[in-house]
Structure 1
């Protein structure tokens, strides 16, 4: 979906074949940065929920509400207590996902956020991708079998009807804990055949798989990694625009989910 496009969901009116009790009711969105999450929180009119679902000592925040018949929870890892920056990366993403799944028992988890994209793989700034597979590029363990474990390539649940209805792009996602890309990272990312690169997706998907919770990873492109510009500069310049594209897509995704089961995606 291109930035600025109106939400136009092409939904056939045929009855859902799945039993009613299989319909998606509770959706958990895990979002790494406040700047990515707050526009969606405001658009959905969610409220910060201070009910004790997380330990008192953690900075994690939960926003909750009902929209289009769905119980929606957005969780973010919050800010670092010392430096005041967003708790980005795989550790925070995995921890908050683990705690939220345990507390909220969602039918579906959506990891929504921003990512870098590769021009050579067809990515443009503002594009929104659904990840077809996730892997790591910074867990290098050069020992037989452990090397495959380190990459951790895992397919995500198929969502062909959702992708077609919203006109989203598909691509493989590679995750690592650095915003930049070392030569070693680049080599693994290429071997992962990745189109997009982020800092938490594979970790969130790993936790979802542990609990057999279906997960969709939706990523809006902030910067073109192979475009010749410094990643940090382009990321900061385009974060607001990418967050807006993520907002529009997120609302359309939730609209599409209403009354459907996982099999209908």
Structure 2
């Protein structure tokens, strides 16, 4: 099975290169990539870049150039304090992009246009490890405290990131199987974000998240229905 793993944020990609220091790094118009043998599997690791623009462009580039049977996105996300715990891994079943402001028509219709439900029927009923199945919302910004009540009320959201919505939309348009596993690196609540103004904390949490996700990845790949 031809598998490409997209890693979005710069901090996440740095950790990948620390985890696998012998990678032979190659360059594309959009970012670095490398081959990795993980257990008995051959994977392509691709630095997708942060934000929706990079995420959409690199997802399409990867699909066009590598023609993956499976596209995987591993990374961090921010959680809403009181609704999820740090370290929780989310198996993303649905994505939506919430920072769309439509003032000439129906804003809900615009948001729904870029929402994606992931077909995960190729995964086993019994997942290989403990994860939370659910929605991940995306925007080109960190979580704004004032947005949290709206995101909970409208979408019952528990966490957010920058890229998943764009990657899921492109994968669905191409009919490409997609697995998104995002782990909560930090929490945001009424008092602000625990990593806001504390980049070092985010970097440390990112190391923990990415190590954990790559340790989990072989069992996920081995469980997939061919």
The normalised TM-score by structure 2 is 0.83
Unmatched segments (≥5 aa) in structure 1: 1-24, 78-86
- Do the aligned residues in 2 keep the contact of 1:68 with 1:255 (CA within 8 Å)? no
Which of 159, 171, 189 is matched with 1:226 structurally?
189
Corresponding residue for residue 8 of structure 2: 32
Mapped contact 1:46–1:65 kept (Cα < 8 A): no
Matched residue, 1:102 = 64
Q: How many residues are aligned here? A: 223
Q: CA deviation at 1:96?
A: 1.0
**CA shift for structure 1 position 49:** 4.3
Equivalent residue for 2:43?
Answer: 72
**Kept in 1: contact 2:93–2:133 (CA 8 A):** yes
Choose between structure 1 and 2: higher strand proportion.
2
- Structure 1: 4+ residue segments shifted above 6 A: none
Q: Which stretch shifts more, 165-174 or 237-246?
A: 237-246
Q: Cα gap change, 1:166/1:44 in structure 2, threshold over 3 Å: closer, same or farther?
A: farther
- Contact kept, 8 Å, 1:208 with 1:214, in 2: the verdict is yes
**For residues 101 and 59 of structure 1, do their structure 2 counterparts lie closer, same or farther at Cα, with a shift above 3 Å needed?**
closer
Deviation (angstroms), 1:41: 4.5
Question: Aligned match of 1:196 in 122, 145, 159?
Answer: 159
Q: CA deviation at 1:241?
A: 2.5
Structure 2 unaligned blocks of 5 or more: none
Which residue pairs with 2:216 in the alignment?
A: 252
Q: Max radius of gyration: which structure?
A: 1
Contact in 2 for aligned 1:97/1:207 (Cα 8 Å): yes
1:47 aligns with 2:23: yes
TM-score (norm 1): 0.72
2:98/2:137 contact within 8 Å kept? yes
The residue that corresponds to 1:215 in the other structure is: 178
Root mean square deviation, CA, Å: 2.8
